[in-house]
Structure 1
Amino acid sequence: MKITTKQIAAFVAIADQQSFTRAARQLNITQPSLSGLIRDLEQVVGLTLLDRRARGATLTTAGQDLLPIALRVKDDIETMLSTSNELSARVRGRVRIACSTVIASTQLIPIASRYEARFPGIKVQIMDAVEQSLADLVRLEQVDLAVATEVDPEPRIVQTPIGKDYLMAYVPANHPLAERDQITWKDLENQSLAVLCKGNPIRTLVDRTAGRLGFMLRSDYEVSFGTTALALADRGLALTILPRNAQQANTVHTCLRKPLIQPTVPRRVIMMSLTGKTLSPAAAEFQTFCVKEMAEGFRQDPPEP
């Protein structure tokens, strides 16, 4: 036999009320049921915990020694139930989410701010990271969720679609191609380019597209962040290929964003979570909220191609 929460509650109630009758009334059970709970508890611990008397019940020496432990157990169980209820009701909790620096500053921080205003007891922790590390952060359970660029299916990762934009060419203002309304992929052959590092899903999209067209693009500069590639384009050192949202609204750039065509290449944005892992109520609610909010943003921001 094992000690049950009902047995603990019965023992604490009798110690408090010093009466089987009053304790049974407090617990809203019958006196025979209460007596059975105490009898079973005494059998499990192998000790007599209460002296039954005509006018009530008193703790034995063993009962006095075990009462503080029973009180702690009872308090811990009540705290556990209270915390569980708060987590289920999203009164408290934590959400850990990773994304690129651009997604963090332009979309995720405003969304997290609105979510925390709706659920003040929940803290959204945002980790900005290079795109190629996002899947690993989810796999290693360092974050609950990640907003990322879709490339290939991953068995251990659940990919929830959010929306899509398109790859664009970013051209120095003094470059001959700056006069064009649109730029083709073929136009970029033999141009000096700043590209993202290998393993970055956007770099993978760029390399695969060029490969299907039968040529390789120059990679004079390999960088980890799109902001660095844009800085190189601003300085006239290279062109770059990045998603439409790479130019942040609060940042001034001198390079020009041009639709990249023949072909137009969509960049699909997804929400990553770990296969088989149950998200906390806070994380599950935030995932639904974030996907809806971000998807609406993509619908309101039509692609230029």
Structure 2
Amino acid sequence: MNRIDLEFGDLQAFVAVAECLSFRAAAAQLFISQPALSRRIDKIEGVLKVRLLERNSRRVAVTEAGRQFLEHAQASIAEMQVALGTISAAAAQRNAVVTVACVPSVSNYVLPRALQSFSEQFPAVRLRVLDESGAQVLQSVVRSEADFGVNFIGVQDAELDFKPVYTERYVLAVQRSHPLARRESVTWRDLCGTRLISVSLRSSNRILLDNALAELEERPAVFCEVNHVTAALALADAGLGLTAVPALAYSKLRYPSLVTVPLVEPEVRRTLGLITRKGAALSGPAQALYAMLENVARAEFVFPEPHR
């Protein structure tokens, strides 16, 4: 097979002249001089040994051979642009990192399903998950440490957009052998005198619960404080007491000795939302993960019934 001594720029030069029917306009479009453009056309015609353009001082016309070659040149340029775009996109994905900040109940039980689908669609994109408290999730998004967050606080933050996607209630996690485990529901007053395990006063969950229970004349006292809901569940599972947690935080497989019972009077709920910085544009992969989480929340979350 004979070697064809043509460059990509030569094809672009011919296509520009054939489409513009003007060496001046084509040179301006390609940001090269007219003499340089003429040399490229002469080179192509010399390699092909055929006249592609008829030109004089007044006009430029494409010959029959030129029209045939134009179709192939345009197709070659289009294929090359597709190839370059595909390779560039793949390289961008290899270098891409999507960071999502979320509260632990989401990172433990919600995020894995979405990340599985995301990784299948974007296998080259690296992931960072910042599983933090509600307040830390907010700060991670505000400081641009995370592309977006999943949280139950932030709706009133002027720097953030909060898109609600799922509402869950708080339930009592209690040992199966405990008398309260057989109840259809438990009031907060029923917890007075029990060994209640709670997250600390610094926790956004604790603040939410304290605000919701502020009107009660008699409130349950805390027997043991921990920093995270997962620790409260682990202690309850070990038989050290009982705890009030968001429904999504409970896992039958992880805490086999526990069941959950709805808490009422009052019934306390929290709304999870996707949070982003106001005016911030998400990258393609980050936007895809954002949409997946929204779809999982809206379509697949089934409010957990009490586990018996």
TM-score by length of 2: 0.69
Aligned to 2:200: 197
Does residue 103 (structure 1) correspond to residue 92 (structure 2)? The answer is no
Distance in 2 (CA, whole Å) between partners of 1:199 and 1:272 is: 21
- Counterpart of 1:258 in structure 2 is 261
Mapping 1:41-120, distance limit 5 Å: 82=85, 86=89, 93-120=96-123
Retained in 2: the 8 A contact 1:91–1:119? Answer: no
Q: Within 2, Cα distance between the matches of 1:34 and 1:151?
A: 55
| Cα distance, 1:127 vs structure 2 | 2.6
Quote how far apart the aligned CAs of 1:26 are.
5.3
Residue 234 (structure 1) shift: 2.1
Post-superposition shift, 1:132? 3.0
- State the match for 2:303 in structure 1: 301
RMSD (CA atoms):
3.8
Gaps of 5+ in 2: 1-5, 44-80
1:194·1:229 contact (CA, 8 Å) conserved in 2?
yes
Aligned to 2:163: 160
Structure 2 counterpart SS, 1:191: coil
SS for the counterpart of 1:137 is helix
Q: What is the match of residue 24 of structure 2?
A: 32
Displacement after TM superposition at 1:137 (Å): 0.9
Instruction: Tell me the amino acid that sits aligned with residue 191 of structure 1.
Output: T
Say if 1:23 and 1:101 are closer, same or farther in 2 by CA, change over 3 A: closer
- Alpha-carbon shift at residue 185 of structure 1 (Å): 0.9
Count of equivalent residues: 257
CA drift of 1:108 comes to: 0.8
Do 1:174 and 1:236's aligned partners in 2 also have CA atoms closer than 8 Å? no
The gaps in structure 1 that reach 5 residues or longer are 1-12, 41-48, 58-77
Aligned amino acid, residue 25 of structure 1 = F
What is the match of residue 231 of structure 2?
228
Q: Mapping of 1:144-159 within 5 angstroms?
A: 144-150=147-153, 153-159=156-162
Task: Answer whether contact 1:132 1:199 (CA < 8 A) is retained.
Answer: no
1:32 corresponds to which letter in structure 2? R
Distance 1:252 1:170, change over 3 A: closer
Q: 1:206 to 1:145 in 2, by over 3 A?
A: same
Note the alpha carbon deviations across 1:208-243, whole angstroms, 9 max, x for none: 122122344423322222121012212332221101
Q: Secondary structure of the residue that 2:262 maps to in structure 1?
A: strand
- Report the residue type matching 1:301 in the other structure: F
C-alpha change, 1:272 and 1:83, in structure 2 (3 Å) is: farther
Identify if the C-alpha distance between structure 1 residues 216 and 131 changes in structure 2 by more than 3 Å, giving closer, same or farther: same
C-alpha spacing 1:158/1:199, structure 2 compared with 1 (3 Å): farther
Displacement, 1:139?
A: 0.7
| 1:109 match: secondary structure | helix
Contact 1:157 1:274 in 2 (8 A): yes
